[in-house]
Structure 1
């Protein structure tokens, strides 16, 4: 599959409807025309679709020169094009902008909305929606939330200062607080620290805990009962994939409506009425440019 250009790349095609063009490196030239190669490489995109894209001038090389059906491909070449989806399921929830200055855009993400284009999502992603809403072509997420998770997420839209903010997350200088609904754990004493070694599991999209030196740590506390469930405060000190979901399941209280943990449920369509009960409640850090304390809080509830 092709890769989408990042915000720093010099590309020969403009952002279109909030979507940056994708590209494909030709490490080993197939020694055939562009149309034959593209239809064989992208088996789910038909020849007529590629001919139409070429006719519109939307398949080009790194210099911006249009490629036609018989254009000769060569080793080391990069092909640029727009990724398109014939049908995309609308996500019926809206993001909210919490803060914007000359460097950052802070957003309250809804459940079910992916961060960036991939798989069956393109326009129905937070990044594309925000580019269309704000006109910020250089918008880039500094960190990620799972598609199933709602809450606060921070974007950069200024290339010159992006690295300073990214370093905060790399150095774990960011204070993240999550909330989750799960079953009560009356046998445990809170707050508690859960540490474990997490590795990729089976199937590939899940993580699992194994024996060995811990590489993940979360502080877990109770906030208040909510019906038969308990509202928990979760503070991850590391940033492993699905870390909070794995840790809560390991304690015997998987987060409500989690389709991955403790067991992966059969694949089905999104149940918009029953989102994962996990919310990125707040993010705080000392601004690397001004030294001022920053804290952003979600307006959503579980």
Structure 2
């Protein structure tokens, strides 16, 4: 462990760093003796010291259920595009060792090995493309990296969003947040004025256009197209949050950070009452690119999910 973690309770550190388990679950795991610090069983109240080595011995575990009703949107000899539901990770991570989109596709006798090209957050639904071989995946990945894939997302955000916004700037860590992995967006001019620019900062650019509005429990929300030019971690979510228009249903970048802290504590908050939705209101609605093998302009679209507001 480094200097940043030193002085933190072990159960608090585990819940904030590894959010696939709540703090109460980590406390139970610690009490079962499944976590060692410096080779010895540690209590939840143990205070982390710099240089500590933490070892997790999970034993047998059970994966949470996921939505498996994905649809095939496009398929040829090189690629397969899937309409991803809003509650399944794309690849193995955390508690989701087998219950993920890649593994479930590979279990289907119609398909063989799937090659990941790009990713969506577990709670983001919509278009995701896989390569059927390494060459196909490499060629389309190159188009993504060179920003030659046009991506369109549909989001629902709290508040009355402007007609259009161009958000060009940087993503940096958010030291004011209690959530370790949370990021924030700063416009280019503001970033240049920072006294100590973040070492892990990343350039990012997203254009937004309002296309509708409504209310939830008397609170206004807006329906917004998102056109990301770059593809950074949490880019759309962090940018909208920093602009003052957090996504409905977003536990990390929502309008109330306490909801996420309650969630990882295992308190089971009423997400719809607090956030407007059970999951973040972000949907990958289309991808457009020139097919690397055929040269044909290819557009893959996904309809708005049923759990989104009308």
The 1:137/1:41 distance shift into structure 2, 3 A limit, reads farther
**Matches for 1:119-134 after TM superposition, within 5 Å:** 119-134=94-109
Per the TM alignment, residue 184 of structure 1 is displaced from its structure 2 partner at its CA by 3.4
User: After the TM superposition, which of the residue ranges 114-123 and 221-230 deviates more from structure 2?
Assistant: 221-230
The 1:134/1:222 distance shift into structure 2, 3 A limit, reads farther
Contact kept, 8 Å, 2:169 with 2:185, in 1: the verdict is: yes
The 1:45/1:243 distance shift into structure 2, 3 A limit, reads closer
Contact kept, 8 Å, 2:228 with 2:236, in 1: the verdict is: yes
Contact kept, 8 Å, 1:93 with 1:111, in 2: the verdict is: no
- Asked if 1:282 is matched to 2:286, the reply is yes
Provide Cα deviations, 1:50-74, integer angstroms capped at 9, x if missing partner. xxxxxxxxxxxxxxxxxxxxxxxxx
Could you say which residue in structure 2 is the equivalent of 1:294? 298
- Asked if 1:247 is matched to 2:239, the reply is yes
Count of residues in Structure 1 that have an aligned counterpart in Structure 2: 224
Contact kept, 8 Å, 2:116 with 2:137, in 1: the verdict is: no
Q: Which has the higher helix share?
A: 2
Contact kept, 8 Å, 2:160 with 2:221, in 1: the verdict is: no
**Matches for 1:158-173 after TM superposition, within 5 Å:** 158-173=133-148
Question: Separation in 1 of the partners of 2:133 and 2:68?
Answer: 27
Could you say which residue in structure 2 is the equivalent of 1:223? 211
Task: State the structure with bigger RCO (CA 8 A, min sep 6), 1 or 2.
Answer: 2
Contact kept, 8 Å, 1:152 with 1:298, in 2: the verdict is: yes
In structure 2, the residue corresponding to 1:215 is in which secondary structure? strand
- Asked if 1:193 is matched to 2:193, the reply is no
Question: Separation in 2 of the partners of 1:199 and 1:212?
Answer: 9
- Asked if 1:44 is matched to 2:57, the reply is yes
Could you say which residue in structure 2 is the equivalent of 1:154? 129
In structure 1, the residue corresponding to 2:191 is in which secondary structure? coil
Per the TM alignment, residue 134 of structure 1 is displaced from its structure 2 partner at its CA by 4.5
Contact kept, 8 Å, 2:67 with 2:85, in 1: the verdict is: no
Contact kept, 8 Å, 1:102 with 1:158, in 2: the verdict is: no
Contact kept, 8 Å, 1:104 with 1:157, in 2: the verdict is: yes
Provide Cα deviations, 1:1-46, integer angstroms capped at 9, x if missing partner. xxxxxxxxxxxxxxxxxxxxxxxxxxxxxxxxxxxxxxx9964155
Unmatched 5+ residue regions in structure 1? 1-39, 47-84
Could you say which residue in structure 1 is the equivalent of 2:181? 205
Question: Separation in 2 of the partners of 1:168 and 1:134?
Answer: 29
Larger Rg: 1 or 2?
A: 1
Per the TM alignment, residue 89 of structure 1 is displaced from its structure 2 partner at its CA by 1.2
Per the TM alignment, residue 125 of structure 1 is displaced from its structure 2 partner at its CA by 0.5
Contact kept, 8 Å, 2:152 with 2:228, in 1: the verdict is: yes
Per the TM alignment, residue 135 of structure 1 is displaced from its structure 2 partner at its CA by 4.8
In structure 2, the residue corresponding to 1:212 is in which secondary structure? helix
Provide Cα deviations, 1:220-241, integer angstroms capped at 9, x if missing partner. 0011123432111000011111
Per the TM alignment, residue 204 of structure 1 is displaced from its structure 2 partner at its CA by 3.4
Could you say which residue in structure 2 is the equivalent of 1:25? none
The 1:145/1:92 distance shift into structure 2, 3 A limit, reads closer
The 1:193/1:95 distance shift into structure 2, 3 A limit, reads same
RMSD: 2.6
TM-score under structure 1 normalisation? 0.67
Question: Separation in 2 of the partners of 1:116 and 1:92?
Answer: 14
Question: Separation in 2 of the partners of 1:260 and 1:119?
Answer: 17
Could you say which residue in structure 2 is the equivalent of 1:106? 81
Choose the corresponding residue for 1:118, options 84, 93, 98.
Answer: 93
Question: Separation in 1 of the partners of 2:76 and 2:111?
Answer: 12
Per the TM alignment, residue 208 of structure 1 is displaced from its structure 2 partner at its CA by 2.0
